[in-house]
């Protein structure tokens, strides 16, 4: 008989985790800043900031491995944008011709559209800046997807949006698990000396991946049914109608206000409409939460670190919007005539504020420490 005392299982401290919503606010702030500029130097700096924070604070969870897929998606979008500019032409006139493609004659009803023709440096640069901005937006969203735990994010969704939140979380976790399954199966085939590339490898890897996805879907449906998913409480008709009006009207106000803040012409009405829409939407979500009968077990706390992480993203977006009023030329380098982009100092320093989560967010647990804890 062993006389040693058995140690109590280690508990996870609430201060060791960061609210998942803070990561999304930070990433959306970087994305908003990227939407305000076409300067390739600032966009590259935003990508570097997002990549550094992901490398410093992501875990070993399956969804954390999806960042590389978003980077590849952004590169693909950039390449497609350049190919379209070469094949379909660019709306930007240019005088520096790179090469000329054979032009395909089109009928009269396709006036304004061309296939082939002259390809200019100005047109390619315009397409490069435009595609790089879209790629940066995708990479920022990928950073949030790699850092935020989707399951913990679902716990923070208001009761009125619980069903929609479940659908979004399932969609967000499907792609990372799919990527992990493909990598695992390809590694297993390589160890067995079987091909993992080409059409044959794609078919032989794709079928087990689809089978695993179907098994997870059935297991998820059974778990949701066992936990009483879909149960709602009875609320008066007047409350339901008021909830619908406030929620829909508030979300429309948020969309209109966000467009006003992102567009250069709507900076005057954007902020008041956004605040009014947020107030109406929060009121509708609070009323709509009365129909939810679920309880929350140990909900995440929005602490000081969450305020710092989310505040850094909001600060980057706000300072970039403010820089557009006095440094618009440096944020949008011209292509006609050709001018080399320059790195504006103050907007660049504002972007560097996005590095704050790499130092204030909780450090992810190391794999060795987790194994030692499990063995204990």
Total count of residues recorded for the chain: 376
- pLDDT over threshold 70, residue 159: no
Token code pair at residue 25: 């606010």
Task: Report d(CA 82, CA 86) in Å as an integer.
Answer: 6
pLDDT at site 216:
72
The per-residue pLDDT for 71 is 92
State residue 171's pLDDT score: 64
From the list 49, 18, 11, 12, the residue with the least C-alpha distance to 315 is: 49
More confident residue, 8 or 343: 343
Contact call for residues 36 and 324 (beta carbons, < 8 A): yes
Instruction: Return mean pLDDT, the chain.
Output: 77
CB neighbour class for 345 (10 Å; exposed up to 12, middle 13-18, buried from 19): exposed
- The pLDDT assigned to 7 comes to 38
Query: Over 70: is that where the pLDDT of 262 sits?
Result: no
Q: Three-state DSSP class for 339?
A: coil
Strand pairing of 115-120 and 97-104? Answer: antiparallel
Q: What is the pLDDT of residue 53?
A: 94
Lowest mean pLDDT among 103-117, 201-215, 223-237: 223-237
Mean pLDDT of 216-244: 70
What is the C-alpha to C-alpha distance for residues 145 and 270, in angstroms, rounded to an integer? 28
99 φ, ψ (degrees, to nearest 5): -160, 170
- Name residues whose C-beta falls within 8 Å of residue 222's C-beta, 6 or more positions apart in sequence: none
* φ, ψ (nearest 5 deg) of residue 296: -110, 130
| pLDDT greater than 50 at residue 235 | yes
- Nearest Cα neighbor of 98 from 68, 119, 80, 116 is 119
Percent of the chain whose predicted confidence (pLDDT) is above 90: 19
pLDDT digit string (tens) for 171-182?
Answer: 656 666 677 777
Q: What is the pLDDT of residues 5-56, one digit of tens each?
A: 433 333 444 445 788 888 999 999 999 899 889 899 999 999 999 999 999 8
Residue 2 CB contacts under 8 Å (≥ 6 apart), including other chains = none
Helix (H) or strand (E) holding 238: helix 237-262
pLDDT score at 186: 77
pLDDT per residue as tens digits for the range 292-326: 656 655 667 788 888 999 999 999 998 998 888 77
């Amino acid at each position: 008989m062993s006389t040693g005392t058995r140690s109590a299982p280690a508990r996870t401290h609430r201060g060791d985790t960061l609210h998942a919503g803070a990561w999304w606010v930070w990433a959306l702030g970087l994305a908003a800043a990227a939407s305000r500029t076409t300067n390739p130097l600032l966009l590259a700096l935003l990508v570097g900031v997002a990549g550094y924070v992901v490398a410093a604070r992501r875990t070993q969870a399956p969804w954390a491995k999806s960042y590389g897929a978003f980077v590849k998606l952004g590169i693909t979008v950039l390449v497609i944008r350049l190919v379209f500019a070469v094949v379909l032409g660019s709306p930007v006139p240019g005088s520096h011709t790179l090469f000329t493609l054979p032009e395909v004659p089109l009928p009269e009803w396709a006036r304004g559209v061309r296939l082939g023709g002259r390809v200019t440096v100005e047109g390619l640069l315009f397409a490069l800046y435009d595609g790089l901005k879209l790629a940066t937006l995708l990479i920022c969203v990928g950073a949030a997807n790699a850092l935020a735990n989707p399951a913990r994010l679902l716990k923070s969704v208001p009761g009125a949006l619980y069903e929609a939140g479940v659908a979004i979380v399932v969609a967000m976790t499907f792609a990372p698990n799919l990527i992990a399954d493909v990598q695992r199966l390809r590694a297993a085939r390589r160890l067995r000396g079987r091909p993992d590339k080409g059409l044959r490898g794609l078919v032989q890897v794709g079928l087990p991946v689809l089978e695993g996805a179907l098994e997870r879907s059935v297991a998820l449906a059974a778990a949701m049914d066992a936990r009483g998913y879909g149960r709602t409480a009875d609320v008066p008709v007047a409350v339901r109608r008021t909830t619908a009006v406030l929620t829909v009207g508030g979300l429309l106000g948020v969309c209109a206000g966000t467009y006003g803040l992102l567009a250069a012409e709507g900076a005057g009405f954007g902020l008041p409409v956004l605040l009014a829409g947020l107030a109406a939407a929060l009121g509708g979500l609070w009323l709509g939460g009365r129909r939810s009968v679920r309880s929350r077990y140990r909900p995440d706390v929005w602490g000081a670190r969450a305020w710092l992480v989310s505040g850094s993203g909001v600060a980057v977006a706000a300072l970039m919007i403010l820089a557009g009023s006095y440094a618009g030329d440096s944020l949008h380098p011209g292509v006609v005539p050709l001018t080399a982009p320059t790195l504006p100092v103050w907007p660049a320093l504002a972007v560097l504020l996005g590095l704050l989560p790499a130092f204030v967010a909780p450090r992810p647990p190391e794999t060795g420490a987790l194994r030692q804890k499990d063995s204990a």
